[in-house]
Amino acid sequence: MEFTRREAPYLAPRSDVATMMLHVLAALVPAALAHVWYFGPGFLFNLIIAAACCVGGEALMMHARGRNVETALSDYSVLVTAALLAFALPSMTPWWVTATGSLFAVIVVKHLYGGIGFNIFNPAMAGYVVILVAFPMEMNLWVAPRMGDIDYDHLSIMQTLKYTLTGSYPAGQTFDAISRATPLDAIQTGLRGMRTFQELRINPMMGDFGGRGWEWIGNCIAFGGFWLLLKKIIRWQIPAGVFAGVLIPAGIMWMIDPGSNATPGFHLFSGATILCAFFIATDPVSAATSPKGRFIYGVGIGLLIFAIRRWGSYADGVAFSVLIMNMATPAIDYLTRPHIVGHARRGASR
């Protein structure tokens, strides 16, 4: 009897990339529902366009690189990129803006660097930054969230779809009539206009601890994030690092001068801090990989987010922070190699 030849170990692996990516997508579902609830159906249109462009772009690139298209698409990583990009976009975004970001993310940032596992930068964030710089006005069209007590006029599904497909505002509406400053924007501009945080806080755009709507999307994201932690799809070091990096300087600044600084809670629940901590910074490919290195990587991102919000010219700084720390990962990994069992500890006397 002839037996098959294999290499040890012979037990089957316990997980696979596709399952990991599907978990990440599933963890985003509650937040997606909250997003649609607060900011309208535009999110879904963006998601569909982003997904179509990402999948198309990946298929095209795999074909061009002479690889099997199916092997790349079957890991679902490109859908995670699409979803993260959709979360970063204003709910009202013309399709070509979304398409530009998606295609840049997949074609340039992911596949020109060698595809999954080889990209230096987080594709979704690099794609986002490109359209943020290329389409500043479109990327600023945030509508008001659903508020319950006092409601703005909301655009209908058809109006949203028309804008997404053509970029034209509904009859009689203008950019200024539809768009609202995001809470981070409002606070940054207000504080720089010498108003106090307490004053700005009274605005109905502000919710209980962050911006209206944003805080609940944030909660849903955190819920999904904790589920991923529980499932060990992600590890605690990066989220903990990001939170520490944002909250500690925010707390210190706020304690020194509560008038001209937002509360740490506001920093946490507004903008993309939570999304970044659990879903963006945790992209394993572009993140640091040693356990200690991941914490440092997270802290770096958090500090940069806070610095950009506090002193920079963009209201939020998640994408820039992530891209900057992506560049630092090889150095971080090198400097944070763990102690190898049986070797003298670094720094210990020999």
Partner 1 sequence: MTAPTYDLGKLHGGLRLEGRKTEATREPIYRVPVPAQLILPISQHVGDDAQPVVGIGERVLKGQLIAEPDGTLGAPVHASSSGKVVAIEPWPVARRFGAKAPCIVIECDGEDTPIERAETPPPYNTLPPDVLLAMILQGGIVGLGGAVFPTAQKLMQAVTCELEYLILNGVECEPYISCDDVLMREHAHQVLGGAQILMHALSLNVGYVVVESDKPEAIQRLAEVMSELNDDRLVLKQVPTIYPSGGEDQLVQLVTNLEVPSGGLPTDIGCLVQNVGTAAAIYDWIIDHEPLVSRITTITGDGIAQPMNVEARLGTTVADIVNFAGGYTDRAQQLIIGGPMTGKSVTIDEVPIVKATNCILVLSEPATIGDERPCIRCGECAEVCPIQLLPQQLFWYACADNEAKLREHGLIDCIECGCCDLVCPSHIPLTADFRKAKGRIQELADEKARAERARQRFEARNQRLEKEQQDRDRELAGQKEAAKQAGPAAIAEILKRKQQGSEDD
Q: Which of 177, 170, 180, 186 is nearest to 147 (CA)?
A: 180
Q: In the complex with partner 1, which residue's Cβ is closer, 143 or 299? A: 299
Question: Which of the ranges 146-154, 192-200, 308-316, 341-349 carries the binding residues for partner 1, by CB under 8 A?
Answer: 341-349
Which helix or strand (DSSP H or E) is residue 167 part of? none
Q: Does 327 bind partner 1 (CB under 8 A)?
A: no
Radius of gyration of the chain (CA): 22
Q: Shortest gap between Cβ of 277 and partner 1 (angstroms)?
A: 17
Q: Does 321 bind partner 1 (CB under 8 A)?
A: no
Q: Does 1 bind partner 1 (CB under 8 A)?
A: yes
Q: Report phi then psi at 342, rounded to 5.
A: 95, -10
Subset of 217-276 contacting partner 1 (CB under 8 A): 232, 235
Measure the CA angle with vertex 286, ends 284 and 292; round to 5°.
Answer: 65
Q: Shortest gap between Cβ of 71 and partner 1 (angstroms)?
A: 7
Residues 6+ positions from 97 with CB-CB distance below 8 Å? 89, 131, 135, 138, 139
Q: Report phi then psi at 72, rounded to 5.
A: -75, -45
Q: Does 291 bind partner 1 (CB under 8 A)?
A: yes
Residues 6+ positions from 305 with CB-CB distance below 8 Å? 242, 245, 246, 273, 276, 316, 317, 318, 321
Residue from 115, 183, 190, 249 in contact with partner 1 (CB under 8 A) = 115
Q: In the complex with partner 1, which residue's Cβ is closer, 51 or 116? A: 116
| Alpha carbon 313 to chain centroid, angstroms | 19
Q: Does 5 bind partner 1 (CB under 8 A)?
A: yes
Q: Shortest gap between Cβ of 75 and partner 1 (angstroms)?
A: 6
Q: In the complex with partner 1, which residue's Cβ is closer, 140 or 289? A: 289
Residue from 133, 194, 340, 348 in contact with partner 1 (CB under 8 A) = 340
Subset of 51-90 contacting partner 1 (CB under 8 A): 71, 75, 77
**Per-residue contact string for residues 118-137; x = within reach of partner 1 by CB under 8 A:** x-------------------
Q: Shortest gap between Cβ of 73 and partner 1 (angstroms)?
A: 12
**Per-residue contact string for residues 6-35; x = within reach of partner 1 by CB under 8 A:** xxxxxxxxxxxx-xx---------------
Q: Does 346 bind partner 1 (CB under 8 A)?
A: no
Q: Which spans in the chain are helix H?
A: 17-39, 42-64, 69-73, 77-88, 95-103, 123-134, 157-166, 175-178, 183-192, 197-201, 214-230, 237-256, 264-269, 273-275, 291-311, 318-335
Q: Does 172 bind partner 1 (CB under 8 A)?
A: no
Residue from 285, 318, 319, 322 in contact with partner 1 (CB under 8 A) = 285
Q: Which of 202, 198, 215 is nearest to 145 (CA)?
A: 215
Q: Shortest gap between Cβ of 231 and partner 1 (angstroms)?
A: 12
Q: Which residues pair with 211 in a beta bridge?
A: 206
Q: Which of 187, 317, 210 is nearest to 261 (CA)?
A: 187
Q: Does 337 bind partner 1 (CB under 8 A)?
A: yes
Task: Return the residue matching tokens 């990066």.
Answer: 238
Which helix or strand (DSSP H or E) is residue 73 part of? helix 69-73
> Rule CB under 8 A: which residues touch partner 1?
1-17, 19-20, 71, 75, 77, 114-118, 232, 235, 284-285, 287, 289-291, 294, 333, 337-343
